[in-house]
Amino acid sequence: MRRRIRARRRQRVAAFRRAAAPVDNGALTVTLDGVHPMLQGSSILVTGGTGSFGQAFVPLTLARFNPRRLVVYSRDEIKQWEMARTYGRDARVRFFIGDVRDRERLYRALDGVDHVVHAAAAKIVPTAEYNPFECVKTNVLGAMNLIDACIDKGVKRVVALSTDKASSPVNLYGATKLVSDKLFVSGNAYAGDHDTRFAVVRYGNVMGSRGSVIPLFLSLAHRGRLPITDPRMTRFMVSLEQGVEMVWQAFADMQGGETYVRKVPSMRLVDIARAVAPDAEHRIIGIRPGEKLHEQMVGAEDSKFAYEYDGHYKILPATADRSTDGARVKGGRKVPEGFVYASDTNTEWLAIEALRAWIDANRDRIGALPAGDG
């Protein structure tokens, strides 16, 4: 146990060092300059804060913005205990055991909080299919609880994390996250005269997180054979640092109701396999229930309200005149009608050599970060 805790501490130190400078691995560049210091000295709460996003957001945000208080709100006491040991006596970091399903606990946790990142979710696709009521309780009812609590407690800004699976969903998890996204977008009108503002950040599967394809391939590489669902399959390649930076930018840019989508490279699944084990044989096993051949983050239906920027897309709310509001557009270029941002038609592709370099640089972290909500 002590050895594992020491290893986690070393990972946190490395994360603090990465926060001070850009992370450059070819197409996986994270530029941390120019982010508005809105979070400086503020009080921040992260729901699901012991999950994969929170494990990256907490050290990076502490190093970058030095918030007055950073509250980790999650239901997993073991992950909280381990995370608390990691941060030792850092008085800025607080821990709250709680569930987004528990409305009263949220109200207590949000006392004095300025900004909220909503990362808690039930997100394992097969589990959601077999336990649909539980998925709805967390992803939909939990979102409703948080929206009400943030408005009533006077939280200034809320950024909710979404997923590529919420764009034209084909499984229950994606459907619940689409409902959640719409709740947060509509929360700006629901807030009435209150000052609370809501926005959404959407990104795909996180590279190297536990249960994802890269650690799976690494664990099987010694066998000389890797399972491939479909040789045509493509995936977006996003790092946790990129997800964190997009959240920071959303806080600085948002007027309320926007959905932010970071531009990231794509890869074919067979090329990911070649990056991990160049000489391994590929065994085709077929697509699993609820799985897409290609990932999508901006659908054709969103294109009427979507704008392009140098590093991201922004989908504006369709209600009233907000989709053409200059304060929200901010110099964006309107995408063509029918535009789709999907992993198979992406204009940016990650080379096998670049992914191999990323794996070598992050080998000690791959598979260590939890894939769940914390």
Which positions are annotated as active-site residues?
165
Host H or E run for residue 182: helix 172-190
How, if at all, do strands 341-342 and 296-298 pair? antiparallel
Q: Which amino acid is at 321?
A: D
Q: With the C-alpha atoms ordered 258, 43, 100, 203, is the resulting torsion angle positive or negative? A: positive
45 with 109: CB under 8 angstroms? yes
What size, in residues, is the chain? 374
b/e map 205-214, b = 16+ CB within 10 Å? bbbbbeebbb
Instruction: For the sheet with 306-308, list strands across it.
Output: 93-97, 69-74, 43-47, 115-118, 157-163, 197-203, 259-262, 312-315, 306-308, 333-334
**CA 332 from centre of chain:** 23
Which CA distances in Å does 115 have to 67, 207, 335?
11, 26, 30
Residues 6+ apart with CB under 8 A from 347: none
Collect all residues with Cβ–Cβ distance below 8 Å to 6 and sequence separation of at least 6: none
Neighbours of 92 (CB within 10 A): 16
Contacts of 160 (CB under 8 A, 6+ apart): 117, 118, 143, 180, 181, 184, 198, 199, 200, 201
* 240/52 Cα distance (integer angstroms): 8
Amino acid present at 310? D
Distance of CA 129 to the CA centre of its chain: 21
Query: Who contacts 94 (Cβ-Cβ below 8 Å, separation ≥6)?
Result: 69, 70, 71, 72
What is the b/e burial string over 32-69, where b = at least 16 CB atoms within 10 angstroms of the residue's CB?
beebeebbeebbbbbbbbbbbbbbbbbbbbbbbbebeb
